Structure 1
Amino acid sequence: MTRFAQGVVIGKFYPPHAGHRHLISTAAEHSDELAVVVLGNRFENIELADRVKWLAAEFEETNVTVLGMPNDCPEDYQSPAIWKAHDEALRIALRMRGVTSIDAVFSSEEYGQQLAEHFGAAHVLVDAARTAYPVSGTLCRDDLTAAWRTILKPARQDMAVRIILVGAESTGTSTLTRALTAHYRKRYPELVDVPEFGRHYTYDKFAAAQAENPDAVLADLVWTAEDFAVIGERQNELENEAAARCPLVIADTDSLATTLWERYYLGEGSHGSYRAMTQLPRRDLYLITDHEGVAFEDDGWREGEHRRAEMTEWFKEELTREGHSWILVSGDHDRRRATATEVVDLIIAQRNRFTSPPWATRTVLAGQP
């Protein structure tokens, strides 16, 4: 294939998927510089800025420049006037980023030929039959769960619905997490457990202490800011690994909760876990398990019955301070689960609903109805 000085790829990338990556990678391989123009309109409910961010992250430190162009113009491939409106908006968007001439337009659609002719450029058709990657934006929007692994990882991280459960010791947080995970796994087979890493870290830390002193007890453990830094960062990693696999994440605690446990053990002046907070993934909802009406069960690893009310208050205050949506789940187990599923179902329905303008076309792959 010929190499070009300046290549261009345009598309909605709604959402960006493996087929888009193949198209852009192919174009980048055969261009000295490649401009990827993301077209977004007000009738679509994934923000243009997000699509630009995701593609920029996917092609970071390459010869690819990603730019966004708001474009509310209708589509009509038979209308010269509409073609002119699109082409002029694209020309200005490129010129404002220093691209004044185009040598090649890379696309997987026949319309790329007409676009290339407008700019006096070559048209390079890439995998028009979608045989290399049998996926389309239409397919992703129709069945997000089935297409999840084909969506670019940066997009999956932001698009996943994230439900985070937090609470003081022995308030039923883990019990409710397991119940919700079991409930939603029927719909999402790829839904994975996101456990409380701090508990497992405590097990390992105590085992190390006993290896040095067989008489050591839990109260002998000496906690440091670095301990909480490790816990917070690993908690983020576990959550993000789950989001990469499934469009729903249900997590038993998070790195924000880690900052409160650090305060609990080391006081207000310790901030080891706060570096994990700077990378806190986006989330949809926190569920705080109420301490009231739940008997304290000492499993040998707990020590805070007398501070449960205080910890519950800390969660309410910190989540409010950080501007997060949270619900205090109270009552017996069935009531708590019902409260949670009622709102989570609505969040899933809202986040999985993709809107498009009436002129939007659907891409149908070979073998699809």
Structure 2
Amino acid sequence: MKRGLVIGKFMPLHKGHIALIAFAAQHCDELIVSMSYTDADPIDGHLRFSWIREQFGSAPKIKPHIIKDDFDDETLPLEDRTRIWAQKMKAVYPLIHVLISSESYGPPFARHMNAQHICFDALRQQVPVAATAIRNRPLTHWDFIPAHIQPFFLKKICFYGPESTGKTTLAIKMARHYHTAYVPEAARDLLTSNAFSETDIIAIGRLQHQYIQEQSQTANRLLFCDTDAITTAIYSQLYLNHVPAVIYELEKQTRFDLYLLLDIDTPWVADPLRDQGHRRKEMLQLFEQALQQRQLSYQKISGSYHQRETLIKSIIDQLLQSW
């Protein structure tokens, strides 16, 4: 049996890595894909390894392995570093016959492994991307990220604030404008009035979280959310004088990259679930204080509906240049 080896941090796995591994698999009977990690990695090692296993789960020739990187010494010259790597690989894996890489470490590493080296696309002409570039600007390099990994890098934008400020309309419009998905307000799918219980508020929180998870799987770069768990907590406190602990736990599970706090300088439009029209200023203060208490950054959006739409597009377009 001819056994091959590909190593990497795969932080994250991207289409360049996938092309490398597919190429490597053509040159051996069994391919070990060794993913190294440390506890200080910016992306959790076990999450990254799950991405690799999901990508190659149907390829019996490819054998993903995870190894803690507690043996490398970046202060050493490449020749000495690769000698240490080879010692570790020989101790952990069966006999390796061929090493496949796109990096300068390939030839010395293969020599220390007593293996043949095969180089793949060293100039990155086939798939011109690097993992560092993806981590720094994932939306710019979106098309190089496998579909099952894209939800991790999705930028979530929350339309946030009191009743009747245009959150739903703006979420839908922005999703259409940026060709992506939006998350509706779960409360409107569960309630017909504001006479609700703690059981209801927990159901709302869980359904809102479920909606976010579901829409994240198909969203394109951006996900626009009509409300969040903080909003659920505010209304729970307002109507029940209590916030169930599960709502705070759900809040921790979703991080928003941008909060848009909608001001109350729009006409009040009543409906069966809106009954705080007489307290709009007070409600706005509650919403803003909740962000400030959590030290979350936000943009306050005022003006007519058209002015809001124009301003929000301007803010997002500017952020897309750095995302």
1:170 pairs with 2:158 = no
Measured in 1, the distance between the counterparts of 2:230 and 2:313 equals: 23
Measured in 2, the distance between the counterparts of 1:51 and 1:20 equals: 18
Give the SS at the match of 1:233: helix
Residue 305 (structure 1) aligns with? 277
* Aligned pairs (5 A) from 1:99-178: 103-104=95-96, 106-109=99-102, 114-123=107-116, 125=118, 128=120, 135-137=127-129, 148=142, 150-152=144-146, 155-178=149-172
Measured in 2, the distance between the counterparts of 1:176 and 1:318 equals: 22
Kindly state the Cα deviation for residue 294 of structure 1 after the two structures are TM-superposed.
1.6
Measured in 1, the distance between the counterparts of 2:11 and 2:128 equals: 9
* Closer, same or farther: CA 331–72 of 1 in aligned 2, 3 Å: farther
Kindly state the Cα deviation for residue 9 of structure 1 after the two structures are TM-superposed.
0.8
CA RMSD across the alignment: 4.3
Contact 1:56–1:65, Cα closer than 8 Å, also in 2: yes
Residue 360 (structure 1) aligns with? none
1:226 pairs with 2:218 = no
Contact 2:263–2:300, Cα closer than 8 Å, also in 1: yes
Q: Which whole-Å deviations, capped at 9, do the CAs of 1:201-224 have from their partners, x for residues lacking one?
A: 33xxx4xxxxxxxxxxx3554452
Larger relative CO (CA 8 A, sep 6+): 1 or 2?
A: 1
Residue 364 (structure 1) aligns with? none
1:264 pairs with 2:253 = no
* Aligned pairs (5 A) from 1:63-102: 64-65=65-66, 85-92=77-84
Contact 2:82–2:109, Cα closer than 8 Å, also in 1: no
Contact 2:99–2:110, Cα closer than 8 Å, also in 1: no
1:296 to 243, 263, 268: 268
| Identical columns (%) | 21
Measured in 2, the distance between the counterparts of 1:122 and 1:37 equals: 20
Structure 1: runs of 5+ lacking an equivalent: 40-46, 74-83, 207-217, 352-369
Measured in 2, the distance between the counterparts of 1:51 and 1:167 equals: 33
Contact 1:232–1:258, Cα closer than 8 Å, also in 2: no
* Closer, same or farther: CA 238–344 of 1 in aligned 2, 3 Å: same
Kindly state the Cα deviation for residue 90 of structure 1 after the two structures are TM-superposed.
4.9
Q: Which whole-Å deviations, capped at 9, do the CAs of 1:213-256 have from their partners, x for residues lacking one?
A: xxxxx3554452531342242143145224xx411222222233
Measured in 1, the distance between the counterparts of 2:7 and 2:302 equals: 52
Contact 1:228–1:259, Cα closer than 8 Å, also in 2: no
1:321 pairs with 2:320 = no
Residue 303 (structure 2) aligns with? 331
1:253 pairs with 2:197 = no
Kindly state the Cα deviation for residue 114 of structure 1 after the two structures are TM-superposed.
0.9
TM-score (norm 2): 0.72
1:20 to 1, 14, 17: 17
2:189 to 180, 185, 200: 200
* Aligned pairs (5 A) from 1:40-51: 49-50=42-43
* Closer, same or farther: CA 115–68 of 1 in aligned 2, 3 Å: same
Measured in 1, the distance between the counterparts of 2:73 and 2:300 equals: 42
Corresponding residue pairs, total: 302
* Closer, same or farther: CA 235–110 of 1 in aligned 2, 3 Å: closer
Contact 1:164–1:283, Cα closer than 8 Å, also in 2: yes
TM-score (norm 1): 0.64
Give the SS at the match of 1:288: strand
Measured in 2, the distance between the counterparts of 1:332 and 1:263 equals: 30
Kindly state the Cα deviation for residue 72 of structure 1 after the two structures are TM-superposed.
8.6
Kindly state the Cα deviation for residue 309 of structure 1 after the two structures are TM-superposed.
2.8
* Aligned pairs (5 A) from 1:358-369: none
Residue 286 (structure 1) aligns with? 259
Structure 2: runs of 5+ lacking an equivalent: 55-62
Measured in 2, the distance between the counterparts of 1:147 and 1:34 equals: 24
Contact 1:9–1:24, Cα closer than 8 Å, also in 2: no
Give the SS at the match of 2:317: helix
* Closer, same or farther: CA 118–10 of 1 in aligned 2, 3 Å: farther
Kindly state the Cα deviation for residue 110 of structure 1 after the two structures are TM-superposed.
7.8
2:316 to 329, 344, 366: 344
Measured in 2, the distance between the counterparts of 1:51 and 1:272 equals: 25
The aligned amino acid for 1:163 is I
Kindly state the Cα deviation for residue 195 of structure 1 after the two structures are TM-superposed.
1.9
* Closer, same or farther: CA 265–56 of 1 in aligned 2, 3 Å: farther
The aligned amino acid for 1:278 is K
The aligned amino acid for 2:309 is R
Residue 358 (structure 1) aligns with? none
Contact 1:166–1:289, Cα closer than 8 Å, also in 2: yes
* Closer, same or farther: CA 67–283 of 1 in aligned 2, 3 Å: farther
Measured in 2, the distance between the counterparts of 1:91 and 1:154 equals: 35
Kindly state the Cα deviation for residue 275 of structure 1 after the two structures are TM-superposed.
2.7
Residue 36 (structure 1) aligns with? 35
Contact 1:201–1:231, Cα closer than 8 Å, also in 2: no
Q: Which whole-Å deviations, capped at 9, do the CAs of 1:53-76 have from their partners, x for residues lacking one?
A: 652342479852155799999xxx
